[in-house]
Structure 1
Amino acid sequence: MKRIDESNKRASTILGFALIPLSGFALDVYIPSLPDMASKLHTVPSAIQLTISIYLISYGICQLFIGSLLDSFGRYLPSVIGLLFFSAASFIIARSESLHVIYLMRAIQGIMVATIVVSKRALFIDLYSGDKLKHYTSLFSVIWASAPIIAPFIGGYLQFHLGWQANFNFLGYFGLLLVTLELIISGESIKQKHPFNLKQIAGAYGLMIKTKDFTVGMVVLALTYAMMLVYGMTSPFLIEKLMHYPATVTGNASLISGVSVLAGGLLSKYFITRPFVKKILIAASVQSIVAIGLTIFTGYLHNIYTLLAYVIILHAAIGFIFNNVLSYLLTRFTNNGGKASGLAGGGYIIFTSAFSYTVVSALSIKSQVWLGVSYSVLSVAVLIIFACTKWIGEPVTIKKLAHEEPIPLPVID
C-alpha cells in the first residue's frame, strides 16, 4: 500500500485540510433547498428537516468508535472507501423520490463523513508533532467554519438554477474529485496499528460521562450548536415561503451566519487568556438578553434585516461560547485526549440533533417571533446550566490531575 513520505507529505497535508470541512458541506449545502424538497417530494417540512437530524446522529455515533477502528485498520483505505460510498449515497439521493431511501442514504453519508474526517484529523497526528502539530490543529476550527460560509452560498445558486437534486449531485461529484486526488496524492500515514479494545473504550467513556463538568460541557455545546441548526432548518421556509425571497437570499443569509460564527471563534482566540467561567457567563448573558430583546422587537417589526440581526449577533456569540467550551472538554482528560475528543465530538452532535429537531417540532416555527423564542429558550438554558456547574479550570492549560499524567495538547483522532 502506498505510504506518505517526504515527497507527498505537503500535498497530503493540504488535501487533509480540504477534507476536514466535508462534514459541514454535507450538512449545509442543501439548506436552501429544504422548501423545494418538501414541495417536490410532497411532504411536510418536518419530514425534510429530519434528514438533517439523521445525518447528525449517524455522524455523531460513528465518531464515538471510529478513531479506535482507524488505529486498527489504518487511515488511507477507510478514507478512500468512505469517499466512494459518500459519493454513491449522494447520487442515489439526487435520483430518489422516496423519503425512506433518502433517510437511509443520509445515515450512510453521516457514517462515511465521520470516517473520512476523523481519518484526516488522525493523519496530522501521524505526520507531525510538537509546535507544528499544535499550529495545524489550531487551524481545524477555522477551516471547519468555512463550510457554513461557502456551502449554503453555493447551494442557494444551485437550487435557484437547477433544483434541489443539483446540490446532491454536487456532493457526489465533489466526493469523486476528492477520492481521485486521494488516490493520486495521498497514502497510509499510520506508523503502527493497534488492536481494537471495546472494553477499554467503554471504560474510558464511562469515567468521562460520570464527570459532571464534562457531561454538562457536552450539553452546553449541543444547546449552543442547536441554535444554528434551528436557524438552518427554519430559515429557508421563513425567507423563501414567508418573505418570498429566492433561494439565493437563503444562501447569502447562511453565508453571513457562517462569517458571524467564524468571527465569534476568532474572538474567542483573542480572549483565550481571560478567565474561562467569567467570559462564558458574560457571553451567555449577553446572548440571552439579545435573544429575548429581539423576540419582543420582532413581534412588532420583522423583515429580512431583523432576521439578519438574529444571525449576526447571536451566531457570533455561538462561535465564541462553542470554541471556548470545546477547548475545555478537549483538555479535560489529558491522558485520554483522543477518547475525550471522540466522546465530546460525537456526544454533542447526538444531543444537538435531538435538541434542534425537538425545538423545531414542538414550537412549529413559522415566524421570526417563534424563531426568537427558540433562541431565547436555548440561550437561557445554556446560561442556567453553565452557571450551576462547577468548572475545574482553564481549557488552555494542561494540568496534572490526581490520576492523570500530562501529555501534549489532545486533538480529535
Structure 2
Amino acid sequence: MTSTAPVATESHGLRILLILSALLAFASISTDLYLPAMPVMADALHADGGTLELTVSGYLVGFSVGQLFWGPLSDRFGRRLPVALGLLLFIIGSAGCALATDGTAIIAWRIVQALGACANVVLARAMVRDLYEGRRAAQKMSTLMTIMAIAPLAGPTVGGQILTLGSWRAIFWTLVVVGFVTLASLLLLPETLPRERRHPSSLGAVVLRYGALLRRPRFLAYVATGGFFYAGTFAYIAGSPFAYITYHHVAPQLYGALFAAGIVGVMATNQMNARLLNRHDSDTLLTVGALIAGGAGLVIAINTWADFGGLPLLVFGCFLFASSTGFIVANSVAGALNCLPEFSGSASALAGGLQYGSGVLGSALVAIYADGTPWPMGWVVAVCGVGCVLSALWVKHSTD
C-alpha cells in the first residue's frame, strides 16, 4: 500500500492554517453573506421567496457535482493548481450573480460560483489529510473549522451592513474581491502532495475508486451522518431568512446577529471536540453531536408547528442545531477520509459531493413546501436530525 505518512508536521505554522481556513470558509461565505438580502432580492428581481431559496439549492448542486471532478484531478496534478482554477471560476460566478437581472439567471450563476468554490473546500480537506493522519487529522480539522467560523459569524452581519450602505449587488462584488485576495494568497501556500505520491489515473480508474468507497459500509455511514446534518443545515440556511425576517419581522441587521449566535456555538463545540479527542474516540463524539442535532430538530419542529415558544425558542433550537456542527462535521469527514487514505482527494470529493448533495434536498424541500410560515423548515430539520442520529449509530456498529 502507498505510504500515507504526513508530509508535514507542526512546523507548518499559522500561515498555512489561516490559508486553509480561508479555503474552507468559501462554502459558508458564498451563501451567508447574502442571506439578509434574500427578501430584498426577491422584490428587486420580481421573484417569490421559493425562487430565492432555490439559489441555495442551485449552489449546492454545483458544489456537490464539482467536488467529484476536483478531487481526482488533485490526486493527479497536486492541490495548488486545481485550487487556483476553482478560485477563477468562483470569481466569474460571483460577477455573474452581481449582474443578474432575474431569478433564473442568478440561480444559474450560483451554480457556476459553486463549481469554483467547492474546489477550495474539498482540496483544503485533502491538504489536511496530506499533512496529518488519524485522530490528529480530526483535531486539525476542528481547529481549522474554529478559525474559518469567523466568516459565517461575520457574514450575515457584514452582508446586512453592505445592504444598508449599498445594494444587494454590492454583496456579490465583495465576493469577487474576496476571490482575488484568496487567489493571491496561494503564493504563500506550499504544495502538500509531492509528485511521488500522485496518482495519474484514468477516468475509469476514478470511477472504480469511487465504487470501492461506496462498497465500504463504514464510509457510507460517515457520509450519511454528515449528509443528514448538511440537509438539515441547508434547510435552516434557506428557510431562516424568511422565518426570521418575513414571519417574525426581525430586521435584516438583527438577523445577522441571530445567525452569528449559532456560529459562536460552532466555534465553541469545535474547540471542545479538538480537546476531547485527546481522551475520547471520534466516533463517540460524532454520536454526541448527532444526538444534539436530533434533539434540536425536534425543538424546532414543535416550535414551528404549534408556534410554541415564539421567536426565542426558535432561535434557541437553531442555535443548538448549529452548535452540533463542531462534533459532527470534523469527525465524519476525518472518518470518511481514513477509509481510503492513499486516495484522500477522491475520498474527500466523494464524501463532500454526497454530503452537500444532501443539502440540495434539504433546501429544495423548504423551497417546494414554502407556505409563508417556518413550518416547512421545522419539519425538514427535524427529519434530518433523526436521520443523523440513526446514521451515527450505524457508524458505531459498522465494519469494513
TM-score tier, shorter chain, comes to 0.7 to 0.9
Task: Report the alpha carbon displacement of residue 329 of structure 1 after superposing the two structures with TM.
Answer: 1.8
More off after superposition, 38-47 vs 339-348 = 339-348
| Letter of the structure 1 residue corresponding to residue 180 of structure 2 | L
| Contact 1:20–1:143 (8 Å) recurs in 2 | no
| Cα distance, 1:208–1:266 mapped onto 2, change above 3 Å | same
Map Cα deviations across residues 132-155 of structure 1 (whole Å, 9 max, x no partner): x95755533323333321222211
| Letter of the structure 2 residue corresponding to residue 356 of structure 1 | S
CA distance in 1 between partners of 2:191 and 2:395 (Å): 43
> Does 2:87 align with 1:80?
no
| Letter of the structure 2 residue corresponding to residue 38 of structure 1 | A
Q: Which of the residues 242, 259, 262 maps onto 1:237?
A: 242
Partner secondary structure for residue 139 of structure 1? helix
Task: Report the alpha carbon displacement of residue 221 of structure 1 after superposing the two structures with TM.
Answer: 0.9
Match of 2:118 in 1: 114
| Cα distance, 1:25–1:279 mapped onto 2, change above 3 Å | closer
> Does 2:39 align with 1:35?
yes
| Cα distance, 1:198–1:139 mapped onto 2, change above 3 Å | farther
> Does 2:213 align with 1:208?
yes
Match of 2:311 in 1: 304
CA distance in 1 between partners of 2:86 and 2:268 (Å): 32
Q: Which of the residues 218, 222, 227 maps onto 1:217?
A: 222
Match of 1:92 in 2: 96
Task: Report the alpha carbon displacement of residue 300 of structure 1 after superposing the two structures with TM.
Answer: 4.7
CA distance in 1 between partners of 2:133 and 2:328 (Å): 27
> Does 2:363 align with 1:356?
yes
Match of 2:26 in 1: 22
Task: Report the alpha carbon displacement of residue 229 of structure 1 after superposing the two structures with TM.
Answer: 1.2
CA distance in 2 between partners of 1:303 and 1:169 (Å): 36
**Under a length normalisation based on structure 1, what TM-score does the superposition of the two structures give?**
0.80
| Contact 2:222–2:395 (8 Å) recurs in 1 | no
| Cα distance, 1:295–1:350 mapped onto 2, change above 3 Å | closer
| Letter of the structure 2 residue corresponding to residue 382 of structure 1 | C
| Contact 2:36–2:252 (8 Å) recurs in 1 | yes
CA distance in 1 between partners of 2:389 and 2:105 (Å): 40
Task: Report the alpha carbon displacement of residue 76 of structure 1 after superposing the two structures with TM.
Answer: 4.1
> Does 2:348 align with 1:341?
yes
Count of paired positions: 383
> Does 2:202 align with 1:197?
yes
CA distance in 1 between partners of 2:126 and 2:296 (Å): 39
Match of 2:382 in 1: 376
Match of 2:158 in 1: 154
| Letter of the structure 2 residue corresponding to residue 62 of structure 1 | G
| Letter of the structure 2 residue corresponding to residue 56 of structure 1 | L
More off after superposition, 12-21 vs 37-46 = 12-21
Partner secondary structure for residue 280 of structure 2? coil
| Cα distance, 1:175–1:320 mapped onto 2, change above 3 Å | same
Match of 2:270 in 1: 265
Map Cα deviations across residues 6-64 of structure 1 (whole Å, 9 max, x no partner): xx998566444433312221122111111111111111212111121222221222222
Task: Report the alpha carbon displacement of residue 267 of structure 1 after superposing the two structures with TM.
Answer: 2.8
**Under a length normalisation based on structure 2, what TM-score does the superposition of the two structures give?**
0.82
Task: Report the alpha carbon displacement of residue 390 of structure 1 after superposing the two structures with TM.
Answer: 5.8
Structure number with the higher helix fraction is 2
Map Cα deviations across residues 163-198 of structure 1 (whole Å, 9 max, x no partner): 311210110122223334446x56766542652422
Map Cα deviations across residues 348-378 of structure 1 (whole Å, 9 max, x no partner): 11122123312x0354263345433333222
> Does 2:205 align with 1:228?
no
| Cα distance, 1:378–1:78 mapped onto 2, change above 3 Å | closer
CA distance in 1 between partners of 2:161 and 2:237 (Å): 17
CA distance in 1 between partners of 2:13 and 2:171 (Å): 32
| Cα distance, 1:283–1:365 mapped onto 2, change above 3 Å | farther
| Contact 1:72–1:194 (8 Å) recurs in 2 | yes
Match of 1:366 in 2: 372
Task: Report the alpha carbon displacement of residue 224 of structure 1 after superposing the two structures with TM.
Answer: 0.8
CA distance in 2 between partners of 1:123 and 1:218 (Å): 19
More off after superposition, 202-211 vs 284-293 = 284-293
Structure ID, larger Rg: 1
More off after superposition, 202-211 vs 287-296 = 287-296
Task: Report the alpha carbon displacement of residue 258 of structure 1 after superposing the two structures with TM.
Answer: 1.4
CA distance in 1 between partners of 2:17 and 2:303 (Å): 48
CA distance in 2 between partners of 1:292 and 1:190 (Å): 43
| Cα distance, 1:237–1:277 mapped onto 2, change above 3 Å | same
> Does 2:178 align with 1:171?
no
| Cα distance, 1:375–1:84 mapped onto 2, change above 3 Å | closer
| Contact 1:222–1:355 (8 Å) recurs in 2 | no
> Does 2:255 align with 1:250?
yes
Task: Report the alpha carbon displacement of residue 85 of structure 1 after superposing the two structures with TM.
Answer: 3.2
| Contact 1:20–1:117 (8 Å) recurs in 2 | yes
Partner secondary structure for residue 34 of structure 1? helix
| Contact 2:235–2:359 (8 Å) recurs in 1 | no
More off after superposition, 248-257 vs 214-223 = 214-223
